[in-house]
Each structure stands twice: as structure tokens, then as C-alpha cells.
Chain A
Amino acid sequence: MAYLELNNIYKTYGQGGNETEVLSNINLQIAEGEFVAIVGFTGSGKTTLVNLINGLLEPTSGEVLFKGEPVQGTSHERGVIFQNYSLLPWLTVGQNVYMAVKEAFPKKYKKELNAIVAEYVEMVSLTPAINKRPKELSGGMRQRVAVARALAMKPEMIIMDEPLGALDALTRGNLQDEILNIWGKEKRTALLITNDVDEGIYMADRIIPLRPGPNATLGPEFKIDIERPRDKTEMNDNANFKETRNAIIEYLMDIGNERKSQAKEEYVLPELTPKDFVNRFK
């Protein structure tokens, strides 16, 4: 039995004539301790998929099973790192993390909770900024707070919704390593949603493309057989890496073109001729 299982998921928004099917026939199985990446275009329904798994949304039909049990609402067992950080701006870094920790471990004493907060803030190297508010931090620092907040709850599974999308390339690389580091240390199950194929290959065990919505569905999976720990510079020369990367990009390009050719709407252009200014002013 898989750790997380999605069976025949359909999700539609709206009702009656305005109904749009965002996700259709999604099937996915993730084993315990696995790192899976889902790669897709923007607007293909990735965030909807994440929200179905973390319990913020319910599927229209089909079932989401977590450890064999159907998902009902959110749970502390599944930690979420949101795309747009979603830190509470009136709390400091420490308070943001503390709030999560306190909810996750309601029985612990304040001292223990503070120790956990300190540990995770240190892990994302933000200890000097622990009393600052999100507004005073850079984008990368804010995302690190979000990572610390999600991980400090010690979830069994980490769900990341384009966590590094808004960051510059250098910060992105550092945070990728940090996330991998934590994942490797504590061996949690991880699901990464991203639009960056390289990021997916660098981080995940398996990559699954999401065909663009409406009616988004999962494409064939690609296994990444590169040994961990992976090195970014070495990887660029790895034949396996190049092959997989090209295969995935080719697949995504194909479905992109397919979508374009499927566009049936034809635009009737109005018949316009340019005005004859030259003769007019003679």
C-alpha cells in the first residue's frame, strides 16, 4: 500500500453552465520516504492539486488516501510550504514559527516549544533575524521562515507548492540544498510542485509532468537515477541527467504545442486598410 494515494481524482470549479474541470483522472502513488516532483506549466492546476492533498480542498470525485485513510481536512501530519510564503505580517519570525509549533505540540511546555523554534530557525540560519517581522526580510529569508514553520511541526510528509518560484537563482540553489539536507536527515516523504525541470531533477526521485488544464492530468513518470548526494556542477555532465532532462522538456514542449494546435477558436479579423495620410495632406 502506498503512503499517499490519489485515485481517479476529478476537480471542477463552478456549477451548471460555468463548470470548468480543472483536474481530471489524476492517479498518483507515493511511497514512504520518497521525494516526488510534479512539473507543469503555470495555470495547469498545480496549486489545486496541492490543496487537494493537504486537505484545503475536496475532490469532486475520487479519493485521496493518506496512509490508507481518506483525507478529511488539513492535518499536522502533512506540512505545507505555500507558494507565497503566507507569513503573518504582525508576528516576528520566532512568533510565526512558535504559533505553528504550539498547535502541533499542544502538550509541551513553553520552554520545550521555544527550544524547537530556536532549533528550526537556526536550521534555516535565521537566528539573527528571529525578532524581525516578515516585512523587514528579503524574499529568500521569508521563504526560509516558511520552510522552518512547516518543518518545525515535524510533519510526516512535506508538501511544497512552488516554494522557490519567486527567488533568485542563487538563493534558490541554497534553499534547494537546505531542503534536501533536512529531507535526507529526517527521511520524510516529500512532494514538490515546480515549474522548473532542473530543480525537479536535482531534488526528486521521480518526476511526473502535469498536462496543462483544463482537464489537467498526470503524464508518464520519469525516474531519476542519479546517486545522492547530488552535485549540481557534476550533474551537468552526467549523461543520465542530460537524457532525462531532454526527455522531460521534449514531452512538455510536445504537450505545449499540442495544446496550441488544439485551440479551435478562430479569430475573425476586421477588414481594415490603413488610412491614406499621404494623399490626404497633399
Chain B
Amino acid sequence: MKQSITLGKVTKFMGLGFLSTFKDLFTGKLEKEDFKNFLRKVVVPIASILLFIGLWHMGSKSLYNIEAEFKIEKALNDQGPAAAEALRACIASGDSSCQPNTLPSPSQVWGSFESLLRDHALISADKAAFIEKTAALNEKRLAEGKDAITYTGRPSFVDQIFRSLKTVFAGFLLALFIAVPLGIFIGLSPTLKSSFNWFIQIFKPVSPVVWYLLVFMIVKTLLIDSSEDSSFTISFISVGLCSMWATLVNTAMGVSSVDKDYINVAKVLKLGNFQKIFKVVLPSSLPLIFTGLKITLSVAWMVLIAIELLAQSPGLGLFVWEEFQNGANDSNAKIIVAMFVIGIIGFLLDRLMLTIQNWVSFDKTDAI
């Protein structure tokens, strides 16, 4: 009998079970005994978010006042009462040239978010116009065997998000293709395990910054003749190397600790080595491998910011760094926007892995 797929099942499968409570609320299916559940799953989280925003608002306001008082005091001491009065009036008028520079309030952050989106719309329009304008010329250039002219303008915030995602996925795939096969070999052979153990133990705790420098040393020399921008290559390799350890260790552990009963079955059925690995050992260690991959993806996303910053790769990490260096009036607010975007994308990536894990693995674990 085929089970029907409902919205509730899908959301639960993806570890987003709380969404189905919303659905029940709107369709009026909420039972009386569900009320407690509804309070806990919907009202409490929303209340805590509002509380968080409120605290943030008050905190930023008091920081703003401290900073403003300090500035006025300083003007009074340095330039006299007239300058202090002028500054006070300037701050009260909201003029951007004299605002105190401190933790931005939630409304400022929201404003920056909107301005970043407007900026994105402007840049995309500009880009589209450029492509349209150069289309005919590019065709001609390609026919003549020359390189096409590409848009070299400033990337928008959304472009930078996609650049970061691209880097993380490339790094994650690199980690996957190194760590899973290597982990399988290490798990199967005690000799390999003891020969790799020191390697894993020493390189696992190395910081992302050092990985970046190591990769930089090697890639710089390898790409010495290439005029291409190597920042993407360097950053995704560094991300991959930083984050692969969890998968490596988990895969090795999963493969070496397969239930003895399953191994006995493989022996009694006389499965060949290849069959044994692909039909028995791998499926039974899939839950552990996926736990490793989940950790790898979240570590990759976490170290990405530091590595992009160092590698000057135009993603979110560089965005944060440039805004910090920039010191414009809304820079602080933009940094906080980036912080939330990074956090939310990290959460979504984790859910994505959980969904894939539930899909592939026989052991249907609940969302943690």
C-alpha cells in the first residue's frame, strides 16, 4: 500500500515539524489538547524572538546614548560650548555626518537589509543592461577568436551570498571525496588506521587560518603561470581541508564498527569483498557517515567567513571585512545583516543535510 505524501509528513521529514502546527492553526484543525503544544511550539518561540529584539533595541539605545554623550563631552572640552551645542543639534536632527558609531538598532539593521536588496536590484539591472549592450559585440569577438567582454562591476550582497554558497559546496564536495573513501579504507584496515592515526590527530585541530596559509603556499606555486584569480580555488580547498576531519573520523569509525551479525551474514552468503563493502559495510555505516557530513557542512560554513576574508574571495566573509574597514554610517548595520544571513543559511544547510540523511539512511533519526 502506498502511503500518501502530505505537507505535514514532508515538513516533519525535513525536521521542520513546527510548521505543521501553523497549518493546523489556519485550517482550524487544532484540537483542545493541541493547545498546550501550540503554546510551546509557536507562541513561546515567537515571544522569545520578540523579547530578543526588545532587549537588543534597548541595549543599542543605551549604547547610542553613551556614545553620544561622550562625543558631546569631547567637543565641549576641545572646541568649547558652541561646538558642543551644534553637535547636540546635529545628532538630534539625525544627520548622517555626526551619528555616534555603535551597535545598530533592529530598525537600522532592517533598513540596511532593505537598502542592500535595493542595491542588488540596481546592480542586477545594470548587469542585465551591460549584457544586452555587449551581446552583439561579444558574438563578433567570439567569432574572431577573442575573449568575450564580461561584466566587472561590483558584486551585490546577493551575488556575494551565492559566491559563498558556491565556495562552501565546492569545499564540501572536496571533503566528501577525500574523507569518505579514505575513511572507508582506514576503517577496513587496522594497518592503515595506525599509519594514519598520527596524521589525523595532528591535523584535525589546526586552525582555518593556518590551513589557508598552507593551501596558499601550495596553490600559489602550482598556478604560477595562470593569470586567473586563484582566490576561489584557494578558499574552497582550505574550506574542504578544514572541515573534512569530522567525516573522516566518523566514516572510519562507522566502517570499523559494523555489527558482527551483518559480517557473519556476509560470510555465510559468501559475498565477495566488493559486494561486502557496498551491500553490507557501507549501508550499515551510513548513519555515522551522515552525522560526519552534517558536522563537516556546518564547520565548512563556519570557517568560510574567515577564509574568504583572508583569501580576498568576494563572498560574505569579504563583505563583512570590507564593511568593517569601510566605517561608513551604515557599515555596522550591514555587518549585523550579514551575521543573520550567515546564521540562517547555516541553519538551512543543516536541515538540508538532515533531509538527505533521512532520505538515504535506514535509521530514521529524529531531528535534534
Contacts and interface: CB of A to CB of B under 8 A. Distances in A.
Interface of A: 54, 56, 73-76, 79-80, 82, 84, 86, 88-90, 99-100, 103-104, 133, 135, 153
Contact of A88 (B275, B283, B363): B283
A74 B265 contact: no
B270 A86 contact: no
B279 to A, nearest CB: 7
B264 A56 contact: yes
Contact of B270 (A76, A84, A133): A76
Given A56-B264, A86-B261, A99-B279, A75 B270 contact: yes
Contacts, number: 45
B267 A56 contact: yes
B267 A74 contact: yes
Of A56, A90, A133, chain B has the most CB atoms within 10 Å of the CB of A90
Contacts of A135: 362
A88 B269 CA distance: 12
Q: Is the interface of A mostly helix, strand, loop or mixed?
A: loop
A88 B279 CA distance: 9
Interface of B: 261-262, 264-265, 267-271, 275, 279-280, 283-284, 286, 361-363
B125 to A, nearest CB: 51
A56 B264 CA distance: 7
B264 A90 contact: no
A89 B279 CA distance: 11
A70 to B, nearest CB: 17
15 contacts: A56-B264, A56-B268, A73-B267, A74-B267, A80-B268, A86-B264, A86-B265, A88-B265, A88-B280, A88-B284, A89-B363, A90-B362, A103-B271, A103-B275, A153-B269
A206 to B, nearest CB: 25
B268 A54 contact: yes
B362 A103 contact: no
Contacts of A133: 362
A152 to B, nearest CB: 11
Given A56-B268, A76-B269, A133-B362, 13 more contacts: A73-B267, A74-B268, A82-B261, A82-B265, A86-B261, A88-B265, A88-B283, A89-B363, A90-B362, A99-B279, A103-B269, A103-B270, A135-B362
Contacts of A54: 268
A84 B261 contact: yes
Contacts of B265: 82, 86, 88
A101 to B, nearest CB: 10
A76 B271 CA distance: 11
Nearest to A51: B264
A89 B283 CA distance: 9
B262 A74 contact: no
Kindly list the 4 A-B residue pairs having the minimum CB-CB distance in the complex, ordered from nearest: A90-B362, A86-B261, A90-B283, A103-B269
